Homo-oligomer: A and B are copies of this chain.
Amino acid sequence: MSFKYKLESVSGKARAGVITTPHGKIETPIFMPVGTRATVKGVMPRDLKEDIGAEIILGNTYHLYLRPGHELIAEAGGLHEFMGWDRPILTDSGGFQVMSLSGLRKITAEGVRFQSHIDGSYHMFSPEKVMEIQNAIGADIIMSFDECPPYPATKKYVAESLKTTLDWARRGKAAHKRKDQALFGIVQGGIYEDLRQESAEALMEMDFPGYSIGGLAVGEEKTHMLRITEYLNGILPADKPRYLMGVGTPEDILNNIANGVDMFDCVMPTRNARKGTLFTRNGKLIVKAARYKKDFDPIDSECTCYTCRNFSRAYLRHLFSVDELLAMTLASIHSLHFYLDLVRWSRAAILEGNFESFRQHMLSRMQGGA
């Protein structure tokens, strides 16, 4: 089955919908756990699916291209087969990683020449090359190559970068070979509403099946992010999904759902979990803290995840204290489950028409106010 999006219901500006892909349906709003290098760190696909309830995960084009390489993944039968994940996958464009990870990069009209952060070898990402890579990886949803300007950047820089990104979107669309993969265009334009509008309208003219919002959560103040997503909500078409790339905290997710965003991904729940900081409906919990030494309650007594059903704060604290592998796995399972709960609850609230009161309640509760 090819790609489809159906808007089911709105509550304020918040949207509930269903995306259909060749690997199944995704109920939105949705959070996508990040599986950078063909694995969501420390979590088995079975647990992602059965316990956490992930409906789609994200793979990083830049990382997969470098290791194990897109040709190898294609030989394995694609990323789904390679990593044992039979639900939808989205791959990003690599644009953010060549900006943030690569030691050296040179941007030309042709593309970006960059050095691998692993061994310093030289590589070239062009819009065509990035399509070739993503076609080989075989995700259900893929991204056109973009230049992701750093923050802060002058308006002049962002405006010129935007022209390049739009040209690359056109070239990527032309180069995209697999019609079973939905190619999203990425809206850039930094913190400037007029540039965002220019970007969105140009992409809409090219008619993508979905639109990503890039270049946010790159260091700018939170107010800019919300201003831009609210602004774009008034421009982007209602009948296409919107994906806010690389965002964010539980608060960010709620606030951007309120601005009409449908899809999110972020390393925050898993990266924090591996260091012992867990997200819960009652705020962050730093489980390594001495106060949990003899606390035999679960991380969150209302949570239904495998970790909370079976283990105490004291046990997790012990595992972190002695650097046991299981600490990272159990913490990641909990925090991903919470992020998925957050979007499941948001969706239910949207369908019931009371998202705004749900959002206020959750924000207050996460600040310890409930």
Contacts and interface: CB of A to CB of B under 8 A. Distances in A.
A41 to B, nearest CB: 6
Nearest to A321: B67
B312 A76 contact: yes
A328 interface: yes
Contacts of A137: none
Contacts of A1: none
A48 to B, nearest CB: 11
A314 B84 contact: no
Contact of A42 (B72, B75, B293, B325): B325
A83 B324 CA distance: 13
A238 interface: no
B329 A82 contact: no
Contacts of A38: 315, 318-319
A318 B71 CA distance: 13
A163 to B, nearest CB: 36
A290 to B, nearest CB: 12
Contacts of A325: 39, 41-42, 325, 328-329
A151 interface: no
B41 A321 contact: no
A345 interface: no
A157 interface: no
Given A83-B315, A84-B310, A326 B72 contact: no
A328 B42 CA distance: 9
B82 A41 contact: no
B306 A72 contact: no
Contact of A46 (B42, B306, B312): B306
A174 interface: no
Interface in A74-114: 75-77, 82-84
A217 to B, nearest CB: 25
Interface of A: 37-39, 41-46, 67-68, 72, 75-77, 82-84, 293-294, 296, 306, 310-312, 314-315, 318-319, 321-322, 324-326, 328-330
8 contacts: A39-B326, A41-B326, A46-B310, A68-B293, A75-B296, A82-B315, A325-B328, A325-B329
Nearest 4 Cβ contacts at the A-B interface: A42-B325, A84-B310, A68-B318, A39-B326
